[in-house]
Structure 1
Amino acid sequence: HQKFFSVKNPKTGRIEKFITVANRETADNGATILAGNQKVLSARLADAKFFWENDLRTAKSEAGMSAWVENLGNVTFHNKLGTQAARIDRIAALAREIAPVVGADADLAEQAARVAKADLSSEMVYEFPELQGLMGRYYAEAAGLPSAVANACEQHYSPLGPGDDVPSEPVSVAVALADKLDTLTGFWAIDEKPTGSKDPFALRRAALGVIRLVLENDVRGASLRGAIMFTYSELLVRMGAAGLLMVLDRNSEEEHWFQAPWTGGSLSDGISEQWGHETVWEFATREQLAFAGEWNLKENLVPDAIALEDNLLSFFHDRLKVFLRDQGIRHDVIDACIAMDGNDDLTLLVKRARALEDFLKTEDGTNLLQGFKRANNILSQAEDKDGVEYSYGADRKFAEDDAETALFDALEAGGAAISPAIEAEDFAAAMRGMAALRAPIDAFFEAVQVNADSDIVRRNRLNLLSQIRQVCGQVADLTRVEG
Structure 2
Amino acid sequence: MPDLLIELLSEEIPARMQRRASLDFEKLLTDGISELGLSYESSAAFTTPRRLVLVLENVSSKSLSRSEEKRGPRTDAPEKAIQGFLKSTGFDLSQLEIRQEKKGEFYYATFQTKGREAAEVISVVLEKIIRNFPWPKSMRWGKTSLKWVRPLHSIVCILYDDDGSKIVDINIEGISSGDKTYGHRFMGSGEFSVTSFEDYAAKLKKNYVVLDPSERAEIILQEMKNQAFAQGLELINDLSLLNEVVGLIEWPVVLLGKLEDEFLALPAEVLQTSMREHQKFFSIRNPKDNKVVQFATVANRETADGGSTILTGNQKVLSARLSDAKFFWDNDLRTIKTDGLDIWLEKLKKVTFHNKLGSQFERVERIINLSEIIAKKIGCDPKLAKDAAYISKADLSSEMVYEFPELQGIMGTYYAKKAGYAASVSETCKDHYAPLGPSDEVPGSPISTVVALADKIDTLTNFWAIEEKPTGSKDPFALRRSALGMIRIIIENDIRISLSEILALGNKKADIEDLKEFIYQRMKVFLREKELRHDIIDACLSIDKEDDLALSVKKSFALMEFIKTSDGSNLIQGFKRANNILLQAEKNDGVEYSFGADLKYAKEDAELNLFSVLDSEEVKIKASLEREDFVEAMNSMANLRAPIDSFFETVQINSDVDHIRRNRLNLLSRICKLCLSVADLTKVEG
Normalising to structure 1: TM-score of the pair? 0.81
Q: 1:450: how far off?
A: 1.0
Tell me whether 1:378 sits opposite 2:615 in the alignment: no
C-alpha contact (below 8 Å) 1:102/1:173 kept by paired residues = no
Query: Which whole-Å deviations, capped at 9, do the CAs of 1:81-102 have from their partners, x for residues lacking one?
Result: 1111011011011111111344
C-alpha contact (below 8 Å) 2:595/2:666 kept by paired residues = yes
Q: 1:111: how far off?
A: 0.6
Q: 1:120: how far off?
A: 0.3
Instruction: Choose from 538, 552, 555 the match for 1:335.
Output: 538
C-alpha contact (below 8 Å) 2:410/2:429 kept by paired residues = yes
RMSD of aligned residue pairs (Cα, Å): 1.8
Trace 1:122-137 onto structure 2 (pairs within 5 A): 122-137=398-413
User: What amino acid is aligned across from residue 680 of structure 2 in structure 1?
Assistant: D
Please state whether the residue corresponding to 1:450 is helix, strand or coil.
coil
C-alpha contact (below 8 Å) 1:337/1:343 kept by paired residues = no
Tell me whether 1:141 sits opposite 2:417 in the alignment: yes
Please state whether the residue corresponding to 2:454 is helix, strand or coil.
helix
Tell me whether 1:60 sits opposite 2:344 in the alignment: no
- Matched with 2:429 is 153
Q: 1:64: how far off?
A: 0.9
Tell me whether 1:70 sits opposite 2:346 in the alignment: yes
d(CA) in 1 for partners of 2:415, 2:309: 38
User: What amino acid is aligned across from residue 380 of structure 1 in structure 2?
Assistant: L
Please state whether the residue corresponding to 1:60 is helix, strand or coil.
helix
Query: Which whole-Å deviations, capped at 9, do the CAs of 1:42-72 have from their partners, x for residues lacking one?
Result: 11211111111111111122x4101101110
- Matched with 2:659 is 456
Q: 1:33: how far off?
A: 4.3
User: What amino acid is aligned across from residue 416 of structure 2 in structure 1?
Assistant: A
- Matched with 1:365 is 568
d(CA) in 2 for partners of 1:214, 1:378: 39
- Matched with 2:498 is 223
Instruction: Choose from 373, 376, 380 the match for 1:100.
Output: 376
C-alpha contact (below 8 Å) 1:133/1:153 kept by paired residues = yes
C-alpha contact (below 8 Å) 1:313/1:344 kept by paired residues = no
User: What amino acid is aligned across from residue 471 of structure 2 in structure 1?
Assistant: T
Tell me whether 1:88 sits opposite 2:367 in the alignment: no
**Structure with the higher helix share, 1 or 2:** 1
d(CA) in 2 for partners of 1:28, 1:343: 71
User: What amino acid is aligned across from residue 228 of structure 1 in structure 2?
Assistant: L
Q: 1:31: how far off?
A: 4.8
C-alpha contact (below 8 Å) 2:500/2:546 kept by paired residues = no
Please state whether the residue corresponding to 2:353 is helix, strand or coil.
strand
Q: 1:473: how far off?
A: 0.6
Please state whether the residue corresponding to 1:18 is helix, strand or coil.
strand
Tell me whether 1:186 sits opposite 2:462 in the alignment: yes
Please state whether the residue corresponding to 2:531 is helix, strand or coil.
coil
C-alpha contact (below 8 Å) 2:428/2:448 kept by paired residues = yes
Query: Which whole-Å deviations, capped at 9, do the CAs of 1:328-353 have from their partners, x for residues lacking one?
Result: 22211111001012452111111111
Greater relative contact order structure (CA < 8 Å, 6+ sep):
1
d(CA) in 2 for partners of 1:411, 1:476: 17
**Structure with the higher strand share, 1 or 2:** 2
Please state whether the residue corresponding to 1:194 is helix, strand or coil.
coil
Q: 1:415: how far off?
A: 2.3
Query: Which whole-Å deviations, capped at 9, do the CAs of 1:176-204 have from their partners, x for residues lacking one?
Result: 11111111111111111222222221111
User: What amino acid is aligned across from residue 225 of structure 1 in structure 2?
Assistant: S
C-alpha contact (below 8 Å) 1:159/1:167 kept by paired residues = yes
- Matched with 2:296 is 19
- Matched with 1:313 is 516
C-alpha contact (below 8 Å) 2:457/2:506 kept by paired residues = yes
Instruction: Choose from 37, 57, 78 the match for 2:314.
Output: 37
d(CA) in 2 for partners of 1:9, 1:146: 26
- Matched with 1:166 is 442
Q: What 5-or-longer segments of structure 1 have no aligned partner? A: 234-302
C-alpha contact (below 8 Å) 1:336/1:476 kept by paired residues = yes
User: What amino acid is aligned across from residue 414 of structure 1 in structure 2?
Assistant: E
Q: What 5-or-longer segments of structure 2 have no aligned partner? A: 1-277
User: What amino acid is aligned across from residue 284 of structure 2 in structure 1?
Assistant: V
Q: 1:312: how far off?
A: 1.4
User: What amino acid is aligned across from residue 182 of structure 1 in structure 2?
Assistant: D
Please state whether the residue corresponding to 2:470 is helix, strand or coil.
coil
Please state whether the residue corresponding to 2:284 is helix, strand or coil.
strand
Query: Which whole-Å deviations, capped at 9, do the CAs of 1:329-381 have from their partners, x for residues lacking one?
Result: 22111110010124521111111111111211222212211111111111122
Instruction: Choose from 447, 465, 468 the match for 2:668.
Output: 465
C-alpha contact (below 8 Å) 2:283/2:296 kept by paired residues = yes
d(CA) in 2 for partners of 1:181, 1:39: 47
Trace 1:276-291 onto structure 2 (pairs within 5 A): none
Tell me whether 1:3 sits opposite 2:280 in the alignment: yes
C-alpha contact (below 8 Å) 2:456/2:483 kept by paired residues = yes
Give the count of matched residue pairs: 409
Query: Which whole-Å deviations, capped at 9, do the CAs of 1:25-50 have from their partners, x for residues lacking one?
Result: 66766555444432332112111111
C-alpha contact (below 8 Å) 1:414/1:471 kept by paired residues = no
User: What amino acid is aligned across from residue 49 of structure 1 in structure 2?
Assistant: K
C-alpha contact (below 8 Å) 1:403/1:448 kept by paired residues = yes
C-alpha contact (below 8 Å) 2:544/2:552 kept by paired residues = no
Tell me whether 1:414 sits opposite 2:617 in the alignment: yes
C-alpha contact (below 8 Å) 2:576/2:682 kept by paired residues = yes
d(CA) in 1 for partners of 2:337, 2:488: 35
Instruction: Choose from 446, 449, 452 the match for 1:176.
Output: 452
Max Rg structure: 2
d(CA) in 2 for partners of 1:315, 1:434: 32
Q: 1:412: how far off?
A: 2.5
After alignment, is 128-137 or 452-461 more displaced?
Answer: 452-461
Query: Which whole-Å deviations, capped at 9, do the CAs of 1:149-185 have from their partners, x for residues lacking one?
Result: 1111111111111111222111111111111111111
d(CA) in 1 for partners of 2:302, 2:638: 73
